[in-house]
Amino acid sequence: MLGTKTSAEGVSVQMPAAADPKNLRVLISGIGIAGPVAAYWLSKAGVSVTVLERCESLRKEGQTVDIREEGVKIMRWMGVEEEVRRRTTKELGIKFVDSKNRTWGAFPQSGEGSFTSEFEIVRGELATIFYEASGEKIEYIFGDSIDSIEETGHSVKVTLQKDSSRHMEFDILIVAEGLTSRTRAKVFNEDVRAPIRSLNLWSASFSYKQGDSDEQWARWHNMPNRRCFLVRPDGFGRVRASAMCIDDGEAIKAIGSSRTSIEKQKEYFINLFKGVGWESDKILEGLRTADDLYVQEIAQTKTKMWSKGRVVLVGDTAFCPSALTGMGTTAAITGAYVLAAEIVKNPTDHKAAFSAYEHSLRAWIEKLQTLPPGVPKLMHPQTDWGIKCFLLISFFASSVISSRIFALLTWLSQTIPFNITTKTALALPDHLRKDTTSLPADVALLAFLDRDHKSGVAKFCRRTEAFQLDCIFNPSSIQMAAAADPKNLRVLISGVGIAGPVAAYWLSKAGVSVTVLERCESLRKEGQTVDIRKEGWMGVEEEVRRRTTKELGTKFVDSKNQTWGTFPQSGGAGFTSEFEIVRGELATIFYEASGDKVEYIFGDSIDSIEETGHSVKVTLQKDSSRHMEFDILIVAEGLTSRTRAKVFNEDVRAPIRSLNLWSASFSYKKGESDEDWARWYNMPDRRSFLVRPDGFGRVRASAICIDDGKAIKAVGSSRTSTEEQKEYFINRFKGTGWESDKILEGLRAADDLYVQEVAQTKAKTWSKGRVVLMGDAAFCPSPLTGMGTTAAIASAYVLAAEIVKNPGDHKAALSAYEHSLRDWIEKIQTIPPGVPRLTVPQTEWGIKCFLGIVFLVSTVINSRIVALLSRIIPAINFDLTNKASLALPDPSLFGPRENHS
């Protein structure tokens, strides 16, 4: 007997009826953040949930916390986003100030990675929202705690401390009590502090009424002897203050004990901070009258195991990252959600559930817990001199981030992935992968699904921190309606570049009959290096890695080859990505991966298109006697697509946004002076050379210029001969110094010259009837964004997914495809004002200024202080941070979504 659940993608997933989570009884100890979240999801799946809290009521005190990344997704799935937004602090950012309240560094709220997140909220408010959302089906017991735990073969029995007559029995006990959990100590037979990694950092948090001098900005003020104040608005007319200090003495440990009275705690911190200047008098007066003081040690929990028998730890009890990471609340929300998901997936096997929960999260948590060397002492200087140095660093970092050149350098050398970039995560459908269990809808995975199914394990290489997720194959777990069979579809793809073969691969994988047409006589091998980032999946990772350029990073050099700025390949969003590869090599890999079932026609192109009610008929230019009929025509021809012009009855350049930027790309044999680094060299009159290794003993060079004249447009035409193109660029770049003689000699002898306009495509609509545009034909972002190849791969995948989901309704498929991608594409097409002119200066003076800025930014990025600032002020979201993306189980596992707003 099988029960059926339907995923968000409409795919039926079978679950054994015997494995019904409604038979489960779960006790959760602790009502903070993780407890109510786990209770919500378990109760939603029908689990009988009881929650125990030792306090008499919900804890309202506490400092502001933030929700980021995975936590935001889960919050939205819970239907509480509107309520969270309503109760946020409305904080504008953070300022670092001196004793005269002068601002040295200001870091505005700028999205996910900033110190102030989009969802900044008082901890008590967030806990209340999650508590209220968890519903009436949950039994809450306040004012009591666990006294004893006895585990039998089939259950865990619990007695309470106050209500000792009450004996309770459950299938699972979830401990979500916080850093110094007493229940954790009981279960693992250890001291409450055994798994705690002390940072010797203490905080007294409280609130007071907002005054005239208080702002909507958070303010950070340091004092000697490793003390500081942090004051933040709470959105309801009060200030949330924290008096922090670093101290490893016995006195502070005694004050931090829950057995110490509030009055003694107040007296201690008032004495510690009195007479320190700035706004200390007002703050300490607020502390004196506060009724919500909460003293806590800021530390980390690093438990060796997260479960024992039928007892499992979650949130700060298991893996507190500390407030220094900015990810404590997100870790608690995510941990609770994943744990609930695994319990529901394995309702009769708690061992399997706990093992999967820890396996899914352990690596991610360990990365979150990584702190730069010297933290937190570097943020709490000992001396006045140390404070001045810290403020100077804040001033410098703030100046760089707020400058216009910052946005420019973000795009020019993506090694600086600040939050000013517009690259955003993209949700990818996963139902095409019929041989796997349901995978997360939000995927920040790099493009390769392992094709070797013998092992039964699909391994996904995650771009951020190379995080890996193993998904066990279960071919019988996914069902698709037989009536809507994609095997009846016939699809023609025009264009064998990047997007074409990728779409062919996925459509063919689903059984679609695919023909691919390419006007060139063979695959185009020429072209510059490209990179793959973020979204995608296919079984070619090993081959792509083998053919990558092995580029070490990018250097900006002057005419004497002196390096002014060095930006190493750093994994995430660097100028040099982890998967840097020559375009022709990548196209070949995708072409070979698409398989023997795909029919390829080279050396011909579309002459005419006629759409009927049920098909689209195509004739070819050369083989005019061949008439073909298909259900869908996909146009993947590139920037100046002729088929797009035919379909929309417009000029080939109608949807193109010119940047007046041109590039002549070619290769030559690597010499002794050539390096495994990319090198960028500017010349006056807006000309540049970019030379890069290709990994196979050759150099890939680009001669770049900005020009809006007719001459360059004529040279860039496909009707211009290669010899004429060579002559033009040789004349334009000769005598420009540096290594121009060698580069131009390479151009003269090149047999792979490719001249192109670097521009963008912005098609108003991506489809018409049964014809749909894809990749550069629809929305070329341009190489300036570093996302062109990724956009092509992602769009091909999403389009194929929608066609397979809607095999009998092309209108629905093509509409869903555009709806899914349009916003994401528009974001990655955004280029800062002045680009590309700012990157290719007009004058010698402009070039010197550009190199000076590059030197400054490179020096900052390559210094140790970057790691510190990336934690202190996460607005500087460098790749040195250890935040890794995490795949989440699909929320449809718990039934339909609800809205509690």
Tens of pLDDT, residue by residue over 438-471, are 322 222 222 332 333 222 222 222 222 222 222 2
**Residue 768 φ then ψ, to 5°:** -150, 115
Neighbours of 573 (CB within 10 A): 24
Mean pLDDT across the stretch 176-199? 94
Q: What is the mean pLDDT of residues 728-743?
A: 96
With pLDDT > 70 as the criterion, what percentage of the chain qualifies?
80
Task: Say what the pLDDT of residue 402 is.
Answer: 61
Higher pLDDT, 8 or 91: 91
**Cα 547 from Cα 541, distance rounded (Å):** 10
* Phi-psi label, residue 895: left if phi above 0, alpha if psi -120 to 50, beta otherwise: left
Please give the single-letter amino acid code of residue 685: D
**pLDDT mean over 61-66:** 79
Q: Which of 418, 431, 465, 423 is nearest to 446 (CA)?
A: 465
Residue 840 backbone dihedrals phi, psi, to 5 degrees: -130, 80
User: pLDDT exceeding 90 applies to what percent of the chain?
Assistant: 51
- Helix, strand or coil, per DSSP, at residue 429: coil
In whole angstroms, give the CA distance from residue 87 to residue 103. 27
pLDDT tens string 397-407? 777 666 544 55
Q: What is the pLDDT of residue 472?
A: 17
Higher pLDDT among residues 509 and 109, named by residue:
509
- Give 309-352 pLDDT, tens digit per residue: 999 999 999 999 998 888 899 999 999 999 999 999 999 999 99
Q: Check residue 473 and give its pLDDT.
A: 18
Residue 875 has a pLDDT of 38
98 within 8 A of 221, measured Cβ to Cβ: yes
Angle at 65 between CA 887 and CA 428, to 5 degrees: 20
Q: Which residue has the higher pLDDT, 15 or 512?
A: 512
Give me the long-range contacts of 612-619 (CB less than 8 A, separation at least 24): 615/490, 615/770, 616/492, 616/769, 616/770, 616/771, 618/492
pLDDT, one tens digit per residue, over 204-225 is 999 999 988 888 999 999 999 9
**Cα three-residue angle 858-859-865, rounded to 5 degrees:** 115
Whether 114 has a pLDDT exceeding 60, the answer reads no
| Three-class secondary structure of residue 471 per DSSP | strand
Average pLDDT over residues 783-789: 83
Can you give the pLDDT at residue 478? 25
Report the first-to-last Cα separation within the chain, whole angstroms: 38
Out of 84-98, 421-435, 564-578, least confident range: 421-435
308 pLDDT above the threshold of 50: yes
Tell me the pLDDT band of 691, cut-offs 50, 70 and 90: very high
What's the mean pLDDT in 509-528? 85
Cα–Cα distance, 565 to 409 (Å, whole number): 11
- Return phi, psi of residue 596, to 5°: -75, -15
Query: Closest Cα to residue 544, out of 508, 579, 494?
Result: 579
Please compute the mean of the pLDDT values over residues 482-486 and round it to a whole number: 57
As a whole number, mean pLDDT of residues 715-731 equals 94
The predicted pLDDT at position 680 comes to 95
DSSP state of 840: S
> Tens digits of per-residue pLDDT, 596-610?
889 999 999 999 999
Give residue 446's pLDDT: 27
Q: Which helix (H) or strand (E) covers residue 353, if one does?
A: helix 350-368
Question: pLDDT per residue over 546-556, tens digit each?
Answer: 888 788 889 99
Domains and CATH numbers, the chain: 2-368 (3.50.50.60), 380-423+844-872 (no CATH)
pLDDT band (50, 70, 90) for residue 887:
very low
Amino acid at 201: L
Contact 840, 682 (CB under 8 A): yes
What confidence category does residue 526 fall into, taking pLDDT thresholds of 50, 70 and 90? low
Please give the average per-residue pLDDT across 18-36, as a whole number: 88
Tens-place pLDDT, residues 660-690? 999 999 999 998 888 899 999 999 999 999 9
> What confidence score (pLDDT) does residue 60 get?
72
Q: List b or e across 470-484, with b for residues whose CB sees 16 or more CB atoms inside 10 angstroms.
A: ebeeeeebbebeeee
pLDDT digits (tens, 9 = 90+) for 133-177: 987 889 999 999 999 999 988 999 999 999 888 889 999 999 999
Averaged pLDDT for residues 783-803 = 87
Residue 483 has pLDDT above 70, yes or no: no
Query: Which segments of 228-345 does DSSP mark as H helices, in order?
Result: 250-255, 262-273, 280-289, 316-319, 328-345
SS (H, E, C) 677-731: CEEEEEECCCEEEEEEECCCCEEEEEEEEECCCHHHHHHCCCCCCHHHHHHHHHH
CA distances from 513 to 260, 489, 522, 595, 792 (A): 74, 6, 22, 12, 21
3-state helix, strand, coil in the chain (%, to 5): 35, 25, 40
Q: Rounded distance, CA 511 to CA 730, Å?
A: 50
**Predicted local distance difference test score (pLDDT) of residue 888:** 47
Beta-strand ranges (E) seen in 309-435 are 311-313
Q: Which residues contact 327 (CB under 8 A, 6 or more apart)?
A: 68, 69, 321, 368, 883
Both tokens of 93, joined, read: 């950012």
Which single residue is written with the structure tokens 């660029």? 729
At 663, list the tokens.
């590039």
Query: Residue 454 has what pLDDT?
Result: 26
The two beta strands, 771-773 and 767-768, are antiparallel
